[in-house]
Amino acid sequence: MSVSRPVRQAPLGEQIAHELRVMIVTGRLKPGDRLVEDSLSVQFDVSRGPVRDALRLLINEGLVEPQRRGVAVAGLTSADVDELYSLREALELLALRETMRRADADWSLLEQSLSELRAAADDGSAADYAAADLEFHSKLYELSGHRRLQSTWAQHRPTFHVLLEASNAQDADLHPSAEAHADLLKVMRSGNVDAAAALLSEHLFGARNRIRTAREESNPQG
């Protein structure tokens, strides 16, 4: 099996991690399934080094667990989705507050991401929309200037990307979601921190519910 859709020539380990992440999140790899370096090296036609790098990333994300020999898939349940989103809400509210208190915050970066969201919605591309969505929110972390906050978000961002791409694929029209981001940006730029925080929490709650619904429809046992 070859690695698909390399993005910006990402290192092989990251590409393999993406492939495995998709298989875990979509249920093609089940909890308890063993992942062995030698077998994965053959499957992806690479040396063991990139496979080891990929597994290390997935362990850090909590998607696989180290075993005495190899690793095993931990899976991603609805409870895990709830946990991920409660963590994201805490992180992103901090990012929002830190950004809004800065007089030099460059909101044009979010405007650029918003344009990409609208373009992806026009194209009806779930993959491009997921990428633009995560880029919009990641800019908020970047603008916060909080280095450790950005690092923590970066650890979990790849899982959110796969989750969003899967749920977006079930949306017939992505324009309402794009305009929800526009509303969020407008309130953030207004300077009303409490209103922005409330709208961000509502935004993330809605995203979590859409993901849970999409997962339950595709995998009632998950």
* 101-to-26, 88, 105, 132, 206 alpha-carbon distances in Å: 39, 20, 8, 25, 26
Give the CA count within 13 Å in the CB-facing half-sphere of 172: 0
CA distance 78 to 96: 26
CA distance 16 to 154: 17
Cβ–Cβ under 8 Å, residues 58 and 20: yes
Q: Within a 10 A sphere around the Cβ of 27, how many other Cβ atoms?
A: 15
Torsion angle in degrees (nearest 10) through CA of 153, 136, 9, 161: 60
Task: Quote the pTM value.
Answer: 0.86
Q: From first to last of its 222 residues, what are the pLDDT tens digits of the chain? A: 444 444 456 799 999 999 999 999 988 999 999 999 999 999 999 999 999 999 999 999 999 999 887 899 998 888 999 999 999 999 999 999 999 999 999 999 999 999 999 999 999 998 899 999 999 999 999 999 999 999 999 999 999 999 998 888 777 789 999 999 999 999 999 999 999 999 999 999 999 998 888 877 766 554
3-state helix vs strand vs coil in the chain, percent to 5: 70, 5, 25
pLDDT, residue 70, reads 80
| Crossing angle of the two packed helices 126-144 and 175-190, in degrees rounded to 10 | 10
CA distance 75 to 197: 31
Cβ–Cβ under 8 Å, residues 118 and 178: yes
pLDDT, residue 219, reads 63
Helix (H, G, I), strand (E, B) or coil at 4: coil
